[in-house]
Amino acid sequence: MTLSRLIAQFVRGHWRAYGVSALMLATVAALTASIPRQVGALVDQLAAGHLAEGALAQRLGVLILVGAAIYFLRVGWRLQLFAASYQLGLQLRTQLYQRLCQQGPSFFQTQRTGDLMALATNDVDAVEMASGEAMLAGFDGSLTLVMVVAMMTLGVDWRLALAALLPFPFMALAFWHISEQIHRASKDSLQAFSRLNDHVQETLTGVRTLRALGLEARSAQTFAELAESAAAASLRAQRWEAGYEPAVGIALVSASVLTLSLGGYFVWQGELSIGTLTAFSMYLGQLIWPMFAAGWVLSLLERGRAAWGRLQPVLHAPLSIDDHGRVALVTPGVLRFDGVQLRYAGQQHDALSEVSFQLPAGDTLGIVGPTGAGKSSVVRLILRQYAPSAGALSWNAVALDDYALEALHGAISWVPQEPFLFSSTVAANIGLSKPGATRAEIENAARAACIHDEILRFPLGYETPVGEKGVTLSGGQRQRVAIARALLTDAPLLLLDDALSAVDTQTETQILSHLRDARRGRSVIIVSHRLSSVLDAQQILVLQHGRVTEAGSHAELVERGNGPHASLPPAGAVNALGRPGGVGPHASLPPAGAVNALGRPGGVGWYASQWRYQQLEASLATEA
């Protein structure tokens, strides 16, 4: 869709406001065009001595009333037109916000935050100006031009009008060239501002890292370069815009020279009166506004066109996850993965391959495995942040993509690896998941997340502001506030994606104990690198390289991994850390040909080896 089509659709939708504005502008143009003719007639009557003193006062009073009417009408159409054009800005910002909220993570992997923020500010402003100021100036200037030229041609002298219009085709050619340059310069200016905006956003977000690495000076230098580039691009656009005024000035001066020369000759020959020449000169002066309006309109339209060219791809970008589901109510049931495969865009290997499991309603599933095994990918598929490449996902025998996204997300409480807190109070962040929650409910959720006592020690208790992204809280406190937020809801599925990584083992034990009591029959999926977090899970999946390599309860996995078919490392073996045990991430390898209880090569099962390794680490820490 082009910018002109967008504006045309908007004008049709707000035709009353634009129609009233057009009527007012037409009245203003008619009144403005009548003034020179009245002045010309007044000059001729004064020169001939045919005007009485009372008639002169009456004529001057009429001119004053006309001027007052023009003033109030101009105020009226500005109020009408700008009130309507601001609605377009509101509409575009709302569409942009809604579209961004509907997009999945894969969309944001190709976008920059600062650029998206610039689209919602500068670019929308440019389109808004094109629909308001440009429409206003264009209609007013065009109407005034038509009325003035008609009065010059039909009401004064067509020969003078023809002479006055001779320079304007050359002005139009100059306008065309200038507008093309403004479009390029405006596009560069908007892109430069986006780069500057993005740098500022990244700098403020990572200010602690910059300070820790001593990169303040380098960041400041980059900012200065980007700011200079943005200023230079904006200045380039302004320079080309400044070219409109000389083009108008040259055209008007040329027209004035031609008309005064020819008009003076006609007056000398007695073919034209002084009053008529005066009226024509006033009409020629009224052409200044239409000419400047033309330049201003072209400038605004080119800026708007450049901005719309950046906005349109984002507004019409296809959704990374299509929300075509029709089931609006999620009822608890079995969550099932059947041969699920997932490959991220641009990747050569699957993140998940042939993953199958089922989670009965009310049970707990633990998902463990080494870094990069695909644990978080399982959570992303459940949240429908990504669509599986193959296989089927269902919940209570209903395909997951048959649920409306809003309904699905409302049925899930999710605590991500890096919890996000809003710049508000502790109570507001906890109560975010349940609008209207009472203080007692918020405090009970905080107790379950083992954060209540610490909140009471804050300066303002639950009313303490947490700062942007919870900057005033520690990592463990942020995680527990996010857990409290998830426990506040009655969602049938709770997802904890490594949500206990920043808390100590004692606090973790307390939270898990509270979680057992607070589950109230809902299903829980716990993703963790700590095996102690999944001890009570009815089922544990071990993922390695995107595949399920082990499955069972904690006792089954430990027994299976250390069973008679498991090849244990040699006595006295040590791992790469120099500690005894020969198990864990840096374990001494079992003998060649060894197989574990699943019949797979490798000796000791991953889960059992990790469990023994973590027990050893805990005992060493206790001894230390």
Higher pLDDT, 2 or 450: 450
Comparing C-alpha atoms, which of 167, 166, 298, 188 is closest to residue 244?
Answer: 298
Tokens of 156: 């004064």
Phi, psi of 413 (to 5 degrees): -105, 125
Please tell me the least confidently modeled range out of 339-353, 404-418, 511-525, 571-585.
571-585
**What's the residue count for the chain?**
624
| 290 neighbors 144 (Cβ within 8 angstroms) | yes
> How confident is the model at residue 622, as a pLDDT?
61
pLDDT band, very low/low/confident/very high, at 583 (cuts 50, 70, 90): very low
Higher pLDDT, 459 or 563: 459
Angle at 98 between CA 83 and CA 187, to 5 degrees: 70
In a 3-state reduction of DSSP, which class is residue 475?
helix
Q: Are 546 and 355 in contact (CB under 8 A)?
A: yes
Residue 81 near residue 136 (C-beta atoms within 8 A)? yes
pLDDT number for residue 624: 56
Q: Which residue has the higher pLDDT, 386 or 569?
A: 386
Q: Is the pLDDT of residue 600 over 50?
A: no
3-state SS, residue 438: coil
Q: Among 229-243, 267-281, 342-356, which is the least confidently predicted range? A: 267-281
Nearest C-alpha neighbor of 3 from the set 298, 317, 318: 298
Task: Give the side-chain half-sphere CA count within 13 A for 467.
Answer: 7
What's the rounded mean pLDDT across residues 470-488?
Answer: 87
What string of DSSP letters covers 512-556?
A: HHHHHHH-TT-EEEEE-S-GGGGTT-SEEEEEETTEEEEEE-HHH
3-state helix, strand, coil in the chain (%, to 5): 65, 10, 25
Structure tokens at 488: 């506040």
Domains of the chain by start residue, with CATH: 3-315 (1.20.1560.10), 335-539 (3.40.50.300), 554-623 (no CATH)
CB atoms < 10 A from the CB of 158, how many? 11
Q: Which of 8-17, 173-182, 213-222, 477-486 has the highest mean pLDDT?
A: 477-486
**Radius of gyration in angstroms for the set of CA atoms belonging to the chain, rounded to a whole number:** 37
Determine which of 60-69, 124-133, 596-605 has the lowest per-residue pLDDT on average.
596-605
Here the tokens at position 67 are: 């001027």
Residue 133 has pLDDT above 70, yes or no: yes
* Confidence check: pLDDT of 448 > 90: no
Q: What is d(CA 207, CA 507) in angstroms, rounded to the nearest whole number?
A: 30
Residue 433 has pLDDT above 80, yes or no: yes
Q: Which residues pair with 526 in a beta bridge?
A: 366, 496
d(CA 335, CA 384): 14
* Residue spans of alpha helices (H) in 316-384: 375-382
- Which tokens is 17 given? 């406001």
Report the C-alpha gap between 485 and 506 in whole angstroms: 21
